[in-house]
């Protein structure tokens, strides 16, 4: 049976770093909405240009666009033991849409792995990433503060949603990469 993991946590928590190890160890296909959107932006398509404008202003791309890209990945990717969703769902509406999407094939989210860090660390890590990777969406303090605020308002309610479903598992993200990875793998071993 295919497994569906949601990788959760605030911006800068290290989701991308940990996702790479999770994909390799557990034969998962990593679906990063950020990467899917960056690919669309790089193509210069109208969708990509609209997404670029929204992202550069610290806003989210419309749900139906992201959901369509994810459903396409589920249908077309073969030869993996499961999928690792990174950056989706970010809202209760998206979580419910994901549940409906998976229910079409009699499946459901296997588990949510949540890497948590405090707000001060979010700011510090995102600023560092902006310098290292040259990401425009990480450069401005106002945009970073907007992303933190958006996370708290729209995404944090997912903790309770997945906790109530018995699928929420939290990992302390304040340690070094190896310490966080050990925490993530200890959760993954449960499934």
- Residue 149 corresponds to which tokens in the numbers above? 């605020």
Mean of per-residue pLDDT scores for the chain: 88
Q: Which of 67, 83, 97 is nearest to 1 (CA)?
A: 83
**Which residues have a Cβ under 8 Å from the Cβ of 91 and sit 6 or more positions away?**
60, 63, 154, 155, 157, 158
Annotation says 129 is catalytic: yes
In this predicted model, what pLDDT tens digit does every residue of 67-88 receive, in sequence order? 888 888 898 899 999 999 998 8
In this predicted model, what pLDDT tens digit does every residue of 135-175 receive, in sequence order? 666 667 888 888 888 888 888 899 999 999 999 999 999 99
Given the residues 3, 52, 125, 147, the one annotated as active site: 147
Q: Is the pLDDT of residue 122 over 80?
A: yes
Burial 113-147 (b: 16+ CB within 10 A, else e): bbbebeeebbbebbbebbeeeeeebbeeeebbeeb
Given the residues 38, 50, 127, 129, the one annotated as active site: 129
Ramachandran quadrant class, 87 (left: phi over 0; alpha: psi -120 to 50; beta: rest): left
In this predicted model, what pLDDT tens digit does every residue of 83-119 receive, in sequence order? 999 988 988 999 999 999 999 999 999 999 999 999 8
What is the value of pTM for the model shown? Answer: 0.82
Could you give the domains of the chain? 3-185 (3.40.50.300)
Cβ proximity of 102 and 109 under 8 Å: yes
Given the residues 15, 52, 125, 181, the one annotated as active site: 15
Given the residues 38, 50, 127, 135, the one annotated as active site: 135
Annotation says 90 is catalytic: yes
Given the residues 52, 90, 167, 181, the one annotated as active site: 90
* Choice between 45 and 44, residue whose per-residue pLDDT is larger: 44
- Residue 23 corresponds to which tokens in the numbers above? 């994909």
Annotation says 135 is catalytic: yes
* Choice between 122 and 137, residue whose per-residue pLDDT is larger: 122
Q: Is the pLDDT of residue 125 over 90?
A: no
Angle at 16 between CA 153 and CA 122, to 5 degrees: 45
Q: What is the percent of the chain where pLDDT is above 70?
A: 96
């Amino acid at each position: 049976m295919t497994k569906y993991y949601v990788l959760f946590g605030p911006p800068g928590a290290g989701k991308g770093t940990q996702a790479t190890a999770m994909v390799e160890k557990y034969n998962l296909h990593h679906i990063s909405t950020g990467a899917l959107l960056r690919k669309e932006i790089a193509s210069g398509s109208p969708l990509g240009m609209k997404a670029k404008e929204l992202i550069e202003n610290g806003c989210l791309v419309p749900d139906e666009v992201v959901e369509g890209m994810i459903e396409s990945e589920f249908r077309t990717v073969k030869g993996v033991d499961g999928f690792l969703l990174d950056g989706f769902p970010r809202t209760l509406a998206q979580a419910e849409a994901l549940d409906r999407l998976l229910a079409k094939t009699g499946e459901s989210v296997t588990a949510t792995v949540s890497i948590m860090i405090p707000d001060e660390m979010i700011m510090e890590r995102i600023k560092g990433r902006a310098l290292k990777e040259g990401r425009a969406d990480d450069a401005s303090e106002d945009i970073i503060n907007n992303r933190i605020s958006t996370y708290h308002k729209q995404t944090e309610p997912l903790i309770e949603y997945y906790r109530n479903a018995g699928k929420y598992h939290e990992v302390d993200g304040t340690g070094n990469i190896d310490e966080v990875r050990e925490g993530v793998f200890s959760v993954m071993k449960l499934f």
